[in-house]
Amino acid sequence: MSAIVGIHYLDGRPVEQELGRMVDILAHRGPDGADIWIDGPVGFGHRMLWTTPESLLEKLPLVSQSGDVVITADCRIDNREELISAFQLEKCPPEKITDSQLILAAYEKWGQQCPEHLLGDFAFAIWDKREQTLFCARDHFGVKPFYYYSSGQTFAFATEIKGLLCLPEVPRQLNEKKIADHFGLGGLDTTITFYQHILRLPAAHIMKVSCQGVQLQSYWSLDPNRELRLGSDEEYAAKFREIFTEAVRCRLRSAFPVGSMLSGGLDSSSITCVAQELYSNNENSKLHTFSAIHEQITECDERFYQNAVLAKGGLESHQLNTDALSPLSDLDRVLWHQDEVQSLANFYANWFLYDSASSHGVRVILDGFDGDNTVSHGTGYLTELAEAGHWLTLASEVRAFSKNLNQPWIPPLLAWMRVYGLNPLISKFFILRVLGSLRRLMRYSKRGAKPSELSNILSRDFIQRYESSNDSTKRKRPKTERESQYRRLTDPGEQNTLEKLNSAAAAFCIEPRFPFWDKRLIEFCLSLPPEQKLNRGWGRMVMRRAMEGIMPKEIQWRPGKTDHSQSFNHGLLTFERECLDDVILKHPEVIESYVNLSVLQEAYQRFLTGKATGDEAVTIWNILSLALWLRKTELSKK
- Together in a domain, 279 and 323: yes
- Together in a domain, 177 and 43: yes
How many structural domains does the chain have?
Answer: 3
Please report the pLDDT score of residue 411 as a whole number.
66
Q: Does residue 453 sit within a domain?
A: no
Dihedral sign of CA atoms 240, 242, 243, 248 in order: positive
Q: Does residue 60 sit within a domain?
A: yes
Q: What does the radius of gyration of the chain's CA atoms come to, in whole angstroms? A: 25
Burial 407-436 (b: 16+ CB within 10 A, else e): eebeebbebbbbbbeeeeeeeeebbeebbe
Angle formed at CA 625 by CA 619 and CA 629, multiple of 5 degrees: 145
Q: Does residue 124 sit within a domain?
A: yes
* Annotated binding-site residue numbers: 99
282-334 pLDDT, tens per residue?
Answer: 766 799 999 999 999 999 999 999 999 999 999 999 999 999 999 999 999 99
The strand pairing partners of 7, in sequence order, are 43, 156
Phi, psi dihedral angles at 615 (to 5 degrees): -65, -40
Residue range of the domain that includes 424? 379-443
Please report the pLDDT score of residue 442 as a whole number.
45
Nearest to 75 by CA among 137, 123, 34: 123
- Together in a domain, 394 and 525: no
- Together in a domain, 399 and 351: no
Q: Does residue 638 sit within a domain?
A: no
Question: Alpha-carbon distance 148 to 216, whole Å?
Answer: 12
- Together in a domain, 177 and 315: no
Q: Does residue 634 sit within a domain?
A: no
- Together in a domain, 175 and 312: no
- Together in a domain, 390 and 264: no
Question: Alpha-carbon distance 614 to 603, whole Å?
Answer: 11
What CATH number did the domain enclosing 80 receive? 3.60.20.10
Please report the pLDDT score of residue 26 as a whole number.
98
Please report the pLDDT score of residue 291 as a whole number.
98
Phi, psi dihedral angles at 25 (to 5 degrees): -70, -15
What CATH number did the domain enclosing 504 receive? 3.40.50.620
Question: Alpha-carbon distance 491 to 126, whole Å?
Answer: 28
CA 636 to chain centroid, in Å, comes to 29
- Together in a domain, 370 and 283: yes
Burial 65-80 (b: 16+ CB within 10 A, else e): eeeebbbbbbbbbbbb
Please report the pLDDT score of residue 414 as a whole number.
61
Q: Does residue 361 sit within a domain?
A: yes
Q: Does residue 391 sit within a domain?
A: yes
Number of helices followed by number of strands (H, E) in the chain: 25, 19
- Together in a domain, 117 and 237: no
Q: Does residue 562 sit within a domain?
A: no
- Together in a domain, 401 and 356: no
- Residues sharing a CB contact under 8 Å with residue 437, sequence separation 6 or more, in sequence order: 411, 412
* Annotated binding-site residue numbers for L-glutamine: 99
Ranges of the chain with pLDDT below 70: 187, 283-284, 408-455, 468-475, 638
DSSP letters along 211-257, please?
Answer: TTEEEEEE-----TT-----S-HHHHHHHHHHHHHHHHHTT---SS-
If one counts every other C-beta atom within 10 angstroms of the C-beta of residue 554, the result is 14
- Together in a domain, 33 and 59: yes
- Together in a domain, 19 and 99: yes
